[in-house]
Structure 1
Amino acid sequence: MESAPLTDEDTALIDIVTETNLDTFDPDFFDSADIVTAGVRMADGEVYEGVSLPASIGRASMCAEPVAVGSAIADGYTHDEIQTCVAVAYPMDSHDATEVRVVPPCGPCRELLADYNDAMRVIVPIDGENRVVDAIDLLPTRTW
């Protein structure tokens, strides 16, 4: 998978999403769930965020990435205007994490991001460093 270093805009997006993650964490609500915040930056620089929505029935839970994408679409943007996506996770003891960190999208979210813009830039951790890859590169054997 080919990757690229972060730009200043990418670092700023991570900072925005990290702040939201810290501000929205609720330790008394589904404390054993992954608490993730995602952000998408549009071609014009606008940023839309979403938070994961844990539910008592797993199927009803929602990842942060589709919430962020849905917010941008609901505000009138088109799929091809989504330029960059990043997700960060709150530091949970169960994950041996002590600070908010960038996390890769799960399988279904990889599919969603590639569906909406296969050239979307996605920030992911690679070998301990945050890097940028195209959404489609997260699905190397996709056949449709």
Structure 2
Amino acid sequence: MSRPAVEDPAPQCTDPTARLLVAAAFAAIRSRYAEARHQIAAAIIDADQRIHLGLHVDAMVGRAAVCAEAGALSAARLATDAPLIAVAAVRYPKPTETCGARIVPPCGLCRELLLDHAPGLRAVVDDDRQAVLVPLAGLLPHKYVGTKWPPTRP
């Protein structure tokens, strides 16, 4: 018995940048999905309109897992110093799930990490009606600010 096709959630995005990022993340996870290994892909776009992808890498010890957003951030920083504009992540359903692929917001750890490196970053989130781009800082209103690096402004 074959699995029905999983639909791309990009059409629910009204913003062209959001649609582009969600489509890129969906294409990445659709091609690389492996149950209990890779379930989420992320895409970050920079100011030069280049897209950088990251793949969730699960681990037997949960703390050793790497989020897709962290992978996309690393890929972006390897490729460019250009400002980062927006991020989107897509979760692919397990074979036992009947839901489709869906847009997921960055976890708390990724929100902190992304804001450390891109204070003005926006994230694609699903607000139950449509997928929209929102300032990531709004999803983490009381971000930790340490003294390790000089302060940065969005």
Scaled by the length of structure 1, the TM-score of the pair is 0.83
Q: How many residues align?
A: 133
Does residue 62 (structure 1) correspond to residue 66 (structure 2)? The answer is yes
Other-structure match for 2:33: 25
Other-structure match for 1:134: 135
One-letter amino acid matched to 1:12: L
DSSP-derived class of the 1:119 partner:
coil
**Which blocks of at least 5 consecutive residues in structure 2 are unaligned?**
1-12, 146-154
Other-structure match for 2:22: 14
Work out the CA distance in 2 between the residues paired with 1:114 and 1:7.
22
TM-aligned CA deviation for residue 21 of structure 1 = 0.9
One-letter amino acid matched to 1:117: A
TM-aligned CA deviation for residue 34 of structure 1 = 6.8
- Which structure has the greater CA radius of gyration? 2
Work out the CA distance in 1 between the residues paired with 2:73 and 2:92.
20
Question: Relative contact order: is structure 1 or structure 2 higher (C-alpha 8 Å, sep ≥ 6)?
Answer: 1
| Contact 1:123/1:133 (<8 A) preserved | yes
**Which blocks of at least 5 consecutive residues in structure 1 are unaligned?**
none
Q: Find runs of 4+ consecutive structure 1 residues off by over 3 angstroms.
A: none
Work out the CA distance in 2 between the residues paired with 1:97 and 1:34.
18
Scaled by the length of structure 2, the TM-score of the pair is 0.78
Work out the CA distance in 2 between the residues paired with 1:37 and 1:115.
20
Q: In structure 2, do the counterparts of structure 1 residues 34 and 104 end up closer, same or farther at CA, with 3 Å as the change threshold?
A: farther
DSSP-derived class of the 1:127 partner:
coil
